[in-house]
Amino acid sequence: MTQPTSPTGGSPTSPSSAATGAGSAPTGAGGGSPAVFPGGPALFRLDPAVAHLNHGSFGAVPIPVQEAQAALRDEAHADPDAFFVGAPDRIAAARARIAAHLGADPDGIAFVSNATEGANLALAAIPLADGDEVLVTDHGYGTVTAAAARRATVTTAALDPYLPDEDAVREAVLAAVTPRTKAALLDHVSSPTARPIATPRLLAELSDRGITTVVDGAHAPGMLADPLAVGADFYFGNLHKWGYAPSGTAVLAVAPAHRGRVRALVPSWEDAHGFPRSVENRATADYTGWLAAPEGLDLLARLDAAKVRAHNSALAAHGAALLAELPQLTPLPWGEGIAMRSLRLPPGLAETPEAARVLRERMAAEHGIRILVWPWAGGGGIRVCGQLYNRPEEYERLAAVLPGFLSGA
């Protein structure tokens, strides 16, 4: 196995409950290719000409879930009155099914449209005075960090992408706490660097200092075995990424002490019910994604969630090991069981959002390969994902074209 190490001699970030209970079965370029998941690719209607190595950005909806949503849309079109009058109760029932999968209190989670909405709802529910600060990291997702910046002064913990392990990450975050830090907004699994940040120990240490914790679990439901066990005051996570749900489906989980302060972003007929119903009602909207969402997690359970997780993380590890053989790329420390891996590009490449966008779109247009290219000063990075529909040869294709592509960038 080609084991990625950091230039600072780092190793994989140590496993924690933040990083799954499933564990990965890393395979490297020398360790043989993981087998295709039986029946996996046929579950999706993806363009076969494209290597979809970027599940982490927008997910992909399996056919049974697409069909469940289509049936709900047919129902709504057949009798709109009946559909909308019955929607709040059906949403509550769908929420209870999601809560059962996530090990959550059904009254403690609400459907929201996406992680970004979850961030705004959570931050709006935290009492903050003038001068209070929200701590974020420079690995945070742009729209989520923007939600914090709208709410308060933001202080940013700078995390070197090569920090070797969970302890180093925790120390770097805690070092950025100031006497005015009232809330911390941290990724469960970061988008660019695909590493666990909000570990149970870090969250507990922040809570001990009186800091309200908000966790961005955009990648966690479906990918990590017990995401909410991390123990946050507020936790939001997308179902439309690794939970196989239709786009526009996410959840916000709120600890009991904070539920009374969560206020829907717009008023609705359900306001009197408080959290979670008030948050979920947004008048005449398309609720079919939420109603079909449990089908995604049901499918994952039927396929054997632990097996799917191990498969996906092994595929991502396989891809990263192949890419690590290219001298232009430096693998980053990874989190055990995470189905995404990141590697750093050389200085001069993808240093700005625009440069990263151009590289990403050229890779898609010229080679039919979809990956995330993320910007970073001093050299951006690429991220590859593993999912049921991926085949080892797709990563081989990427590794084959990347050197020429980068030298011609």
Note if the bond before 276 is cis, omega within 30 degrees: yes
Q: In one letter, which amino acid is 381? A: G
Helix and strand numbers (H, E) in the chain are 13, 13
Member of 54, 116, 249, 268 binding ligand PLP (CB under 6 A) = 116
Stretch that binds ligand PLP, among 99-107, 125-133, 212-220, 363-371 (CB under 6 A): 212-220
**CA–CA distance, 338 with 170 (Å, rounded to integer):** 18
Parallel, antiparallel, or unpaired: how do β-strands 369-370 and 51-52 relate?
Answer: parallel
Stretch that binds ligand PLP, among 35-43, 46-54, 110-118, 289-297 (CB under 6 A): 110-118
Indicate whether 145 belongs to the interface with ligand PLP (CB under 6 A).
no
Indicate whether 281 belongs to the interface with ligand PLP (CB under 6 A).
no
Member of 120, 191, 212, 387 binding ligand PLP (CB under 6 A) = 191
**Total residues at interface with ligand PLP (CB under 6 A):** 13
Stretch that binds ligand PLP, among 4-12, 19-27, 109-117, 160-168 (CB under 6 A): 109-117
Copy the structure tokens of residue 96. Answer: 């209870």
Member of 136, 144, 148, 317 binding ligand PLP (CB under 6 A) = 144
Of 232 and 303, nearer to ligand PLP (C-beta) is: 232
Indicate whether 216 belongs to the interface with ligand PLP (CB under 6 A).
yes
**CA–CA distance, 296 with 279 (Å, rounded to integer):** 22
Q: How far is the CB of 113 from ligand PLP (least distance, A)?
A: 8
**CA–CA distance, 42 with 148 (Å, rounded to integer):** 40
Of 42 and 158, nearer to ligand PLP (C-beta) is: 158
Q: How far is the CB of 340 from ligand PLP (least distance, A)?
A: 9
Indicate whether 218 belongs to the interface with ligand PLP (CB under 6 A).
yes
Copy the structure tokens of residue 5. Answer: 């190490």
**CA–CA distance, 48 with 295 (Å, rounded to integer):** 24
**CA–CA distance, 341 with 56 (Å, rounded to integer):** 10
**At 61, phi and psi to the nearest 5?**
-100, 120
Indicate whether 193 belongs to the interface with ligand PLP (CB under 6 A).
no
Indicate whether 57 belongs to the interface with ligand PLP (CB under 6 A).
yes
**CA–CA distance, 389 with 51 (Å, rounded to integer):** 10
Q: How far is the CB of 57 from ligand PLP (least distance, A)?
A: 5
Of 217 and 294, nearer to ligand PLP (C-beta) is: 217
Other C-beta atoms lying within 10 Å of the C-beta of residue 165: 15
**CA–CA distance, 15 with 224 (Å, rounded to integer):** 12
Indicate whether 187 belongs to the interface with ligand PLP (CB under 6 A).
yes
Q: What is the DSSP letter of 186?
A: E
Indicate whether 313 belongs to the interface with ligand PLP (CB under 6 A).
no
Parallel, antiparallel, or unpaired: how do β-strands 250-254 and 234-238 relate?
Answer: antiparallel
Tell which positions 220-249 bind ligand PLP, by CB under 6 A: 238
**CA–CA distance, 238 with 98 (Å, rounded to integer):** 12
Of 87 and 223, nearer to ligand PLP (C-beta) is: 223
Indicate whether 324 belongs to the interface with ligand PLP (CB under 6 A).
no
Parallel, antiparallel, or unpaired: how do β-strands 133-137 and 340-344 relate?
Answer: unpaired
Q: How far is the CB of 66 from ligand PLP (least distance, A)?
A: 18
**Which residues contact ligand PLP (rule: CB under 6 A)?**
57, 114-116, 141, 143-144, 187, 191, 216, 218-219, 238
